[in-house]
Amino acid sequence: MTKMKAILVLNVLLLSLMANAFEFTPMEREFSASGTQSTQTFFLENKTPNAVAIELNMYKRAHALNGKEIRTATNDFFIFPKSVKLGPSEKRAIRVTWQGPASVSTELAYRLVAEQLNVNISRVQSDRKGIDIKYTMTYVASVYVTPDGGKSDVRVSQVDARNGVVKVRVDNLGNKHKILAGSKLVLNSAGGTRVLSDDQVPPMQKLNLLARSSQYFLFRQPQNLKNPRSGEIR
């Protein structure tokens, strides 16, 4: 088998594995610190004709200023079952229960990770040797423990334009996360106020500002935007 054919077969095998992997739903849940919503249900479903072993783990979630996600292992939730072996086409409910304090004043953010334990291995023969493919499917869901009446409060605290690049820092002073997709960035300069379109600030559309957190994003300075110094999110 030529190298090009081997690569083509590898790609086909990977696509096949991805199309027939297990499913994990839903991908986002908001918990209450007490009451009926302090326990919620997720679902695992095996889409393959083979048995699949899956492990679930919860992590505390934070973001650095540059947006990099930071995860820390935690026992704040009880997950049952934590390890699952699914038969072909089997579906299983996973109960997740908050074990922390009965009330929170600021929303807490977590990641629930469902990771396949048994690794699919396929072998393709090239001209001289075999190639092993190791593929593991992982789902990463968003989990929040939200206070009653929680609200976000997003503000622009810094705008700096240098060498054709604008750096904007945004702070969420509220006690609930805010996804900025669909929001508008308004910048103020000596020339007036400018509302930027989504395609002018694509990094902002992907931003999820956790409660009481800050991030910055960069974008190319539009030609007709001169020396912006302040702004707001609408």
The whole-angstrom separation of Cα 170 and Cα 206 is: 13
Distance of CA 86 to the CA centre of its chain: 25
Q: Does domain 154-233 bear CATH number 2.60.40?
A: yes
Same topology between domain 3-145 and domain 154-233: yes
Which of the listed ranges 34-43, 49-58, 189-198, 218-227 does the model predict with the highest average pLDDT? 34-43
- pTM beyond 0.75: the answer is yes
- 8 Cβ contact partners less than 8 Å away, ≥ 6 residues apart: none
Q: What is the pLDDT of residue 118?
A: 58
**In the chain, how long is the greatest CA-to-CA distance?**
67
Tokens of 207: 């931003």
The pLDDT confidence band at residue 223, using thresholds 50, 70 and 90, is: confident
What number is the average pLDDT over the span 54-83? 97
Evaluate whether 80 touches 230 at the Cβ level (below 8 Å).
Answer: no
For residue range 109-147, list pLDDT tens digits in order: 999 999 998 554 444 444 445 545 555 789 999 999 999
Sketch the domain layout of the chain as residue ranges: 3-145, 154-233
Q: What is the pLDDT of residue 71?
A: 98
Query: Strands across the sheet with 91-98, in order?
Result: 23-25, 39-45, 91-98, 77-80
Instruction: Using the predicted structure, report yes or no on whether residue 6 has a pLDDT greater than 60.
Output: no
Instruction: Using the predicted structure, report yes or no on whether residue 17 has a pLDDT greater than 70.
Output: no
What number is the average pLDDT over the span 217-233? 91
The whole-angstrom separation of Cα 24 and Cα 131 is: 30
CATH superfamily of the 3-145 domain: Immunoglobulins (2.60.40.10)
Closest CA to 24 of 110, 109, 141, 120: 141
